[in-house]
Structure 1
């Protein structure tokens, strides 16, 4: 449970760092259509900064979940030794704890508001506000489409991940059935990771050509 929660937090922090990279990155290297600071990109996003961002994301990911894990380790009374879930997750574990778990609701709310959800979401949103405002100033429609297309993969993953995590963890335990949250958890742990390679690789021309060929093959077979 600790490893899963840590890696989930790490993914949120990595997506936040990626939004900053999108802010300073070149949208289209061929035409040098840029977002915000194109000429300073290599100076800003140098190897030292990238290393610090990566290390910080890993460190924050493994630290942020420790308070909840410590509280969980203090419980010893459970109504069952079976969890109604396909892995040991926090919400279904809370359901079988005999003691009062309201402190965990407070911890989850605090972490969501001040550590793992709201701060990364705000930083990502601020980055995209500047990105969109810059894109809208691009004179050509072709440049705007290419710039939006460059950011679309990251933005799609952000929306999918935040939607599932908020529905799964930041709603009170009294709201929603455990089976419904289990379905959301399945989507978060299985569907989103499966979609990520497809979402990020659709910008690749070779991948798009291969997808068109595959669809044409299935159309002929059908």
Structure 2
């Protein structure tokens, strides 16, 4: 199979975690449980939002519903493959499969950036412009915002993936990672690679990551200033409690992304990169639903309504 005139690599080998069998089985068990719990948490949120009429009408929960769907797709892009490689340490992945994983994984990551910005915009409008909020975040506007996040996330990385996939890969074909990451892939390309790494880094880091981070910081900064000026202490504390959960999720996401760019050079670089990638591919999606919903009164009330509805249905069936 030849993808360019001089490309001879037909498949890659994901080196994964170079650890002993016992540690590998332990990691397999831990991340298999985390993966199942992550799916269960996010499916529960989606089901609850769809089942509860009051939540389904609120823009914040429409966004959270899509965010949960995003997290399911996110973990399912990398974790099952990682679990398979832990169970059967072979690591062989075809050229097309590798770049498909590369594209979907980073597109979902970019989509998450846009969704975090959309959630920040929702909180900004709700707190800073409460009278105009129902018109500005109507159902139609909210769904347009959701569609924009998905479309931009998946359109943005098409260019970098095409540019990297058109490079010549002469070997070796070993990727020192457990996912198809552009950094290790570029290191396997035959020279010269030209300005492709700079173009990819600018389009991703400069325009998406930093751009969305700047928007989120401005939005929550305006929210905090508005709340500090509020004279109603009760509503102010409630609003602070709500945005604190959002800020924790934002910090987890952008903190781990930032960790990718402050990795020390040298032999430990690949090991630290794997750990950081593992954190935001498997652990962060597990924590996010807990952070958003664990102390959320609206979610607790929705669970109560759903339980009462089920109890009512059971009683009616028994009477019949």
TM-score scaled to structure 2, two decimals?
Answer: 0.57
The verdict on how the C-alpha distance between 1:199 and 1:156 changes in structure 2, with shifts beyond 3 A counting, is same
Which residue is equivalent to 1:148?
Answer: 240
Structure 1 unmatched ranges of 5 or more: 26-34, 208-222
Of 15, 18, 23, which residue of structure 1 is paired with 2:124? 23
**1:6 aligned to 2:93?**
no
Which residue is equivalent to 1:211?
Answer: none
| Structure label with greater radius of gyration | 2
**1:119 aligned to 2:220?**
no
Which residue is equivalent to 1:29?
Answer: none
Could you tell me whether the CA contact under 8 Å between 1:105 and 1:172 is conserved in 2? no
Of 161, 182, 189, which residue of structure 2 is paired with 1:97? 189
C-alpha root-mean-square deviation of aligned residues, in Å?
2.5
**1:60 aligned to 2:161?**
no
Structure 2 unmatched ranges of 5 or more: 1-101, 301-320
**1:180 aligned to 2:269?**
no
**1:48 aligned to 2:140?**
yes
SS of residue matched to 1:117: helix
Which residue is equivalent to 2:130?
Answer: 38
**1:160 aligned to 2:261?**
no
Deviation string for 1:174-221 (max 9, x for gaps)?
6771111111000010110000111001223476xxxxxxxxxxxxxx
TM-score scaled to structure 1, two decimals?
Answer: 0.80
Higher relative contact order (CA 8 A, sep 6+): 2
CA shift, 1:148, in A, is 1.1
- 1: CA distance between counterparts of 2:183 and 2:133? 42
